[in-house]
């Protein structure tokens, strides 16, 4: 089973990379892009019997390793 | 009288020799490298997590090093009050390990800063600042791309009220200003300590500022402090 984990900075955390990308887009005249936040994307191959078990396993490794809860949050999608 | 420094070596550590040199050759104490796969600190009196790029900074700085086998022994050492110093990447590892609160983000200006800065000593009741004075301004080098200290407001308030902010970026006169802040750290934080005060982490490199040919000897006070603190505890081996 496959899991996709999206890790993003919490809204309260300043993202200097996202800011630099936003400013670059503005200098390219993309005024319609008002903000960019950069994150991380992980694809996990999981040995799990059910979507629920896969999600639980993905959440466990996201909590422990993939995301730092001090600055980041995450969202999980499961492919059955 | 001699104390024993352990310098933990992760794959990608690159200031391990600087710390070893400061402890052994400048101070004249014992020092030993401990490879991250070891499970014992071999009777060390002080443990240093050195600077560098452990595991290539993959995932997040310091994120993977926290799972190295030696970290179990390091956590136990810290839990029993042992003096533990994290320098630069070592500070990042301590935050990822939750031995210290907060996190170190990409520098606000996205640049890698390699320069001498000034930091003000805020508190002297830690084993690494016992010989310094409050308000003392240290000239120390920094070399990092991710030294931008972040913690939520509640954590920052708790750090202030429990006097756990140990070093702040300042100007030559000791004024804590925005222009003296090289990386965007909240409240100009350059270093903090644990609740037990025995675990200290900082982004600047005291171990690279222990001999005048290197431009500053101001880092010596951290090493002198821990030697004095251990002497006061009677921990020195004859």
pLDDT in tens, B10-29: 999 999 999 999 999 999 99
ipTM score here?
A: 0.85
Confidence of residue B235 (pLDDT cuts 50, 70, 90): low
State the Cα angle at B96 between B34 and B129, rounded to 5°. 70
Instruction: Look up residue B216 and give its two tokens.
Output: 């500053």
Per-position DSSP letters for B67-98, written without gaps between them: GSTHHHHHHHHHHTT--EEEETHHHHHHHHTT
Query: B102 and A70 in contact by Cβ < 8 A?
Result: yes
Q: Which pLDDT value is given to residue B236?
A: 53
Q: Rounded to whole angstroms, how far apart are CA atoms B184 and B150?
A: 9
Residue B138 has pLDDT above 90, yes or no: yes
pLDDT in tens, B160-214: 999 999 999 999 999 999 999 999 999 999 999 999 999 999 999 999 999 999 9
Contacts of B107 in chain A (CB under 8 A): 16
Q: Rounded to whole angstroms, how far apart are CA atoms B77 and B137?
A: 30
Q: Which CATH class is domain B4-232?
A: alpha beta
The full set of domain ranges for chain A reads: 2-79
Query: A68 and B63 in contact by Cβ < 8 A?
Result: yes
Query: B107 and A16 in contact by Cβ < 8 A?
Result: yes
Q: Rounded to whole angstroms, how far apart are CA atoms B53 and B99?
A: 19
The full set of domain ranges for chain B reads: 4-232
Q: Give residues with Cβ within 8 angstroms of B230, minimum separation 6.
A: B3, B45, B46, B83, B127, B236
User: Does the beta carbon of A41 lie under 8 angstroms from any beta carbon of chain B?
Assistant: no
The residues of B annotated as belonging to the active site are 88, 205, 207
Give B29 to chain A, closest Cα distance, Å.
Answer: 37
Q: What is the mean pLDDT of residues B152-167?
A: 98
pLDDT in tens, B62-72: 999 999 999 99
Query: B101 and A13 in contact by Cβ < 8 A?
Result: no
- pTM of whole model > 0.90? yes
Q: Which pLDDT value is given to residue A33?
A: 97
Residue B215 has pLDDT above 80, yes or no: yes
Q: Rounded to whole angstroms, how far apart are CA atoms B196 and B176?
A: 26
**Could you say which of A16, A66, A68 has the minimum Cβ distance to residue B106?**
A16
Query: B184 and A14 in contact by Cβ < 8 A?
Result: yes
**Could you say which of B101, B110, B184 has the minimum Cβ distance to residue A20?**
B110
Q: The CATH number of A2-79 is which of 1.20.120.1200, 3.30.1280.10, 2.30.36.70, 1.10.1040.10?
A: 3.30.1280.10
Contacts of A16 in chain B (CB under 8 A): 105-110, 148, 184
Per-position DSSP letters for A8-23, written without gaps between them: EE-TTS--HHHHHHHH
Closest to B83 (Cα-Cα) out of B202, B193, B210:
B193
User: Does the beta carbon of A12 lie under 8 angstroms from any beta carbon of chain B?
Assistant: yes
């Amino acid at each position: 089973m496959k899991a996709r984990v999206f890790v993003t900075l919490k809204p309260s955390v300043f993202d200097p990379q996202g800011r630099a990308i936003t400013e670059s887009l503005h200098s390219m005249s993309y005024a319609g892009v008002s903000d960019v936040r950069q994150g991380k994307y992980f694809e996990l191959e999981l040995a799990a019997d059910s979507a629920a078990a896969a999600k639980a396993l993905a959440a466990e490794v996201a909590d422990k390793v993939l995301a730092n809860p001090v600055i980041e949050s995450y969202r999980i999608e499961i492919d059955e | 009288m001699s104390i024993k420094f352990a310098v933990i070596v992760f794959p990608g550590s690159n200031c391990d020799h600087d710390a070893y040199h400061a402890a052994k050759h400048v101070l004249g104490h014992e020092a030993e490298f401990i490879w991250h796969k070891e499970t014992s600190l071999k009777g060390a009196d002080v443990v240093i997590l050195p600077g560098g790029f452990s595991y290539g900074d993959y995932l997040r700085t310091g994120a993977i090093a926290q799972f190295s086998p030696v970290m179990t022994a390091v956590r136990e050492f810290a839990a029993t009050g042992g003096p533990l110093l994290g320098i630069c990447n070592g500070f990042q590892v301590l935050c990822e390990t939750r031995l210290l609160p907060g996190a170190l983000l990409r520098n606000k200006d996205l640049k890698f800063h390699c320069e001498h800065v000034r930091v003000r000593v805020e508190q002297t009741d830690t084993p690494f600042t016992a010989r310094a004075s409050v308000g003392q301004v240290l000239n120390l080098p920094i070399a990092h791309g991710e030294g931008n200290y972040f913690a939520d407001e509640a954590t920052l308030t708790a750090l202030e009220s429990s006097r756990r902010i140990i070093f702040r970026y300042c100007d030559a006169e000791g004024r804590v200003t925005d222009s003296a802040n090289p990386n965007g750290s909240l409240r100009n934080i350059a270093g903090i300590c644990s609740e037990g005060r025995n675990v200290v982490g900082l982004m600047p490199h005291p171990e690279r500022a222990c001999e005048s040919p290197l431009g500053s000897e101001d880092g010596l006070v951290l090493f002198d402090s821990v030697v004095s603190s251990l002497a006061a505890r009677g921990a020195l081996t004859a």
